[in-house]
Amino acid sequence: MRILFSAGEIAARVDALAAEIARAMPADFVMVGLLKGAAVFVADLVRALDRAGAGPEIEFMRLSSYGLAKESTGAVQLLGDVPADLAGRPVLLVDDIVDTGRSIAYATAQLRERRIGNLWTCALLDKPQRREIEVPIDFVAFSIGDVFVAGYGTDYAEKYRHLPYIGVVE
C-alpha cells in the first residue's frame, strides 16, 4: 500500500469540509451514510460538524455492488434497512467513494421514493474519470484519479477498512 492521504491530511480535510457543509445545509438535516464503506468517514464527519455548529441526525443504508472484486459488477442491491420517516426532511447522503456513480444514483432513487425533502450528496473520494452515470456530488473531500484505494473505511476484499490512512492498493 502506498499512502495517498495520511491520517493528519484526512482530519484537516474533514474539518474544512464540515465547515463548508455546516454553512450550506439547513439546520434540521439528516445525514444518511452508506454502509459499510462510509462508516468511518461519517463518524469523523459528524463530530467535525458538531465543532462547526451543526447537529445532524444520523441514519444508515446498506448497499452492495462490488463483492470481492476491484471492478464493479454493475448490479447494486439494497441489503440493509432504509431509514424510516424521512418524508420532507433535508438529507445529506454520504458515501465513501463515487466511482461509476451507480451506487449513489441507486441510493438517491431509494431515498426519493421515501419522499424526502431536498437532497445533497457527499463523498470522501470522487473518481470523476470513472463516471458512467452523471450524479451531482455537492461535497467532496478528495478527488482522485483512476486508482484503487483502501483504508479509512474503504476496503479491498473486506481488508484495510481499519487503516487510519487511505492508500493505493498496488
CB of 146 to Mg ion, least distance (A): 17
95 binds ligand IMP (CB under 6 A): yes
Q: How far is the CB of 124 from ligand IMP (least distance, A)?
A: 9
Chain-centroid distance of CA 120 in Å reads 11
Q: Is 100 in the site for ligand IMP (CB under 6 A)?
A: yes
Q: Are strands 149-150 and 91-98 parallel, antiparallel or unpaired?
A: unpaired
Nearer to ligand IMP, 12 or 75 (CB): 75
* Residue 33 in contact with Mg ion, rule: CB under 5 A: no
d(CA 120, CA 109): 13
Burial class (CB in 10 A: 0-12, 13-18, 19+), 71: exposed
Within residues 21-50, the interface with ligand IMP by CB under 6 A covers 37
Q: Say if CB 19 and CB 52 are below 8 A apart.
A: yes
- Contact characters 72-91, ligand IMP, x per CB under 6 A: x-------------------
> In 3D, which of 89, 88, 87, 42 has the Cα closest to residue 61?
42
- Pairing mode of beta strands 57-64, 77-78: antiparallel
Bridging pattern class, strands 77-78 and 139-143: unpaired
Interface with Mg ion, residue 37, by CB under 5 A? yes
Site for Mg ion (CB under 5 A): how many residues? 1
CB of 33 to ligand IMP, least distance (A): 11
Q: Note the residues at the interface with ligand IMP (CB under 6 A).
A: 37, 65-66, 72, 95-103, 148-150, 154-155
Contact positions vs Mg ion (CB under 5 A)? 37
